[in-house]
Every structure is written in C-alpha cells, then in structure tokens.
Amino acid sequence: MTERVVDVRGLHVTLGEQPVLHGIDFHVDAGEVVTLLGANGSGKSTLVRAVAGLVPAAAGDIALFGRPLRSFREWRRIGYVPQRTTAAGGVPATVKEVVASGRLARRKPFVPASRADRDAVTRAIDLVGLADRTNDGIDTLSGGQQQRALIARAAAGEPDLLVLDEPNAGVDIRSQEAFARSLRTFVASGRTVLLVLHEMGPLASLVDRAVALDSGRVVHDGPPPGRADAGAHEGQEPGRAAAARAAAGMTEDLTPGHGAAGVPDDHPHSNEEQGGPFGWNS
C-alpha cells in the first residue's frame, strides 16, 4: 500500500486574529509531486508552514509519515525551502558551506563530516547544477542561483519529502529549467514533493496532482489545470475544475499553451534518469 506522507484533516489555522485556513482536507502520497495553487493570500504558504510544523493548528489533524505532528520527530526526513529568502543573509559563506549546513541534522555533533556527508553535499550541488560555483561566495550568485543553493541545502539532508514554497518566484527561466531537471532526478528515486507554485512553467510535466485553494478552502484536488483529465477526477463533473480554477484566481498561465497540457513522455516515473546520476537511490 502506498504510504501517506502528508495527511491533513479538517485543518483550521488562525494567524493573529484572522482565520486563514478553514477546514482543509488534503494529502500527499509517497512518490507524488503535488502542487498547491491559488491566488495571493489564499493560504498556500500557511498550509505548507503548518505541514512543516511552523504554525500551529487551531483545529484539525496533521500527520507526517503516518505519525501525528505532535509526536513526529523525524524532521531530517523533510527538507523545507521557505518562500524566497536571500541565501546570502550578510554572512560570507561559499555555496558549499551553505549546502553543507543542510546536512547538519544528519551529522553527529562534534564529529567531522564523514565521507557520506561530503558526498551528499557534492551530489546536492550537482543536482541543482551549481558544481562550477561550489567555492564561490553565495553573495556572488544571481537570485535564481541562490534559490538553487537553498534547494541544494534542503536536498543535502537526503529528505524523503521536499517542501518548497514558490521555488520559481522571481527566478530566471534558466534556473527554473535547471530546477525542473533536478526535481525530476529527485522524484525518479520515488521521493515525494509538495510545492507551492504560481505558474507551473517548466515543472508542468512533473506535477501529478494540483490542490487549489481559495480563501483558505480547497476548491480543486485532482489533475493539474489544463491537463486533459482535469475536472474528470474523483467524481468531479467536467467543468468543475475550470470553475474552481476561476474561483482560485488562476490565469491562463496554467492552461494549455503554457506547458500544462500534453504531458510529455518523460514523466518522472518513467524517466530515463531513473536512479539518477546523483545516486538518490543510495
């Protein structure tokens, strides 16, 4: 049976005085790539932050890898990349140092990095296509490259679930494509991804399922918008997805012509990169 990696039931979240999520039911199964979509302020970041244990639930339940959040301790199984932050942060650090910091949860305290730690860092840097920038200062990288370094930092911990909040926001198309390639390698090893997106862009062919939020409620859970079977999923009558999409304020960017339609043959689960050059299976 497929493992349920994220299981959210009846989740309510209130921030300050404001109710933000209103009874969210939502799940991610092992090996899935699930995207959260929706207009600004619909609650996407709040939902992933709740899943990452960063904001408390007012009501409802969240389970990770089959364990209730309150007793979940295996945080090293989760790599979380928050919404765009600068990787530099005023600290003079190289790409390698930033990425290596993502390995700390796997290391024993006060013991030098093992061969496995060093290899994991090298693989993560390769994964996001920054091998030629390994020893460069993080502040010399473009915004998109810094974002890739943060993704590599999350990947260095070899998580089973990668949670990414708008990894492509403000990122140049070259970095978006590099990220899509690295994500394809990551999911080819059966790992799981939950990500917030505004536009699917080069990631369209990787996404298995889209969950759209509108004002803190789920209004669509099924094939990504624009895909041929969208709206005919889980008993939804055709056309409902389009209505949900409109309600969620989604634009034509998510519709055919922007890559969401016509899923190419190189879908991750049948991908020639199976196992990957970076050893995600190891």
Question: Which range touches ligand ATP (CB under 6 A), out of 16-24, 92-100, 151-159, 266-274?
Answer: 16-24
Our finding on whether 57 is near ligand ATP (CB under 6 A) is no
Least distance to ligand ATP, CB of residue 118, Å: 36
Site for ligand ATP in 31-50 (CB under 6 A): 38, 40-46
Our finding on whether 176 is near ligand ATP (CB under 6 A) is no
Question: Which range touches ligand ATP (CB under 6 A), out of 13-21, 127-135, 177-185, 202-210?
Answer: 13-21
Q: In what order do the strands lie in the sheet containing 192-196?
A: 78-81, 161-165, 192-196, 33-38, 209-214, 217-222
Our finding on whether 205 is near ligand ATP (CB under 6 A) is no
Our finding on whether 90 is near ligand ATP (CB under 6 A) is no
Least distance to ligand ATP, CB of residue 267, Å: 27
Least distance to ligand ATP, CB of residue 42, Å: 4
Token code pair at residue 142? 């473009």
Compare residues 50 and 141 and give the one whose CB is closer to ligand ATP. 50
Question: Which range touches ligand ATP (CB under 6 A), out of 10-18, 146-154, 185-193, 234-242?
Answer: 10-18
Compare residues 40 and 135 and give the one whose CB is closer to ligand ATP. 40
Least distance to ligand ATP, CB of residue 41, Å: 4
- From candidates 18, 71, 135, 270, binder to ligand ATP by CB under 6 A: 18
Our finding on whether 16 is near ligand ATP (CB under 6 A) is yes
| Contact footprint for ligand ATP (CB under 6 A) | 15-16, 18, 20, 38, 40-46
